[in-house]
Amino acid sequence: MANMNESKTLAGKRALVTGGSRGIGAAIVKRLAREGADVALTYSSSPAKAEEITREAKALGVRGLAIQADSADAGAVAAAVERTVAEFGGIDILVNNAGVALIGPLADFKLEDFDRTFAINVRAVFVATQTAARHMKEGGRIINIGSTNADRMPFPGGGVYAMSKSALQGLVQGLSRDLGPRGITINNVQPGPVNTELNPDAGEFAEMLKKVNALPRYGTVDEVAAMVAYLAGPEAGYVTGANLMIDGGFSA
């Protein structure tokens, strides 16, 4: 039993994953739980799915918590962080995973879609980070799920999405200077095409993206979760202010 505990690199840590009920977020919740962390997740509209993922985390012997919070609502985001702290007695790991991809031609792109993209993909990341940082101690970890599209957007209609993910690069590089003296790291994980319900690895669009990749396939949610687990763990203590691609060579 002692050996099992030794392999749990995040034993005793407390994490919050925004948008953790499906896709990449759900895989991150399960991976952090497997590594021994207590994990809270936020969800916007699928309580049954959120509870299912929370049950799976608890089955691994850790505490789990599902919190309804729309990331477009800054107050709800801050409240989710505070609830995590209250329930778990603190927070060591924040994964800003919740995001939205609103794609459309420039001529028709609605200003409300621009504002919603920025609110969820950028403002919520800042609010959660600011709130969590107030509670974090040395060794704290903040990890954003960005996108390879911050560096490369090879098709029309994705300009606003790409802008929102590029904004995270500047935010992380700047905030690494604020948080570094406290021993807290902050990084972006930037996936390329990943097989999820919302972005399946079959179909015309997928075949187009596979041709752009150096590796002619989609990534898996577990591959992204593995990179997040590394950044959350003790071996990544010297990695901060970084934008780390996991994109199959999409941006190469």
Residues designated catalytic = 161
Alpha carbons 56 and 50: distance in angstroms, whole number: 10
CA proximity to 148, closest of 73, 199, 203:
199
Q: Would residue 17 be called left, alpha or beta, if left means φ above 0 and alpha means ψ between -120 and 50 degrees? A: beta
The pair phi, psi for residue 136, each rounded to 5°, is -75, 145
Q: Calculate the alpha carbon distances from 190 to 24, 43, 240 in Å.
A: 12, 21, 14
Alpha carbons 63 and 185: distance in angstroms, whole number: 24
Angle at 28 between CA 47 and CA 236, to 5 degrees: 150
**What is the H or E stretch that residue 166 is in?**
helix 159-179
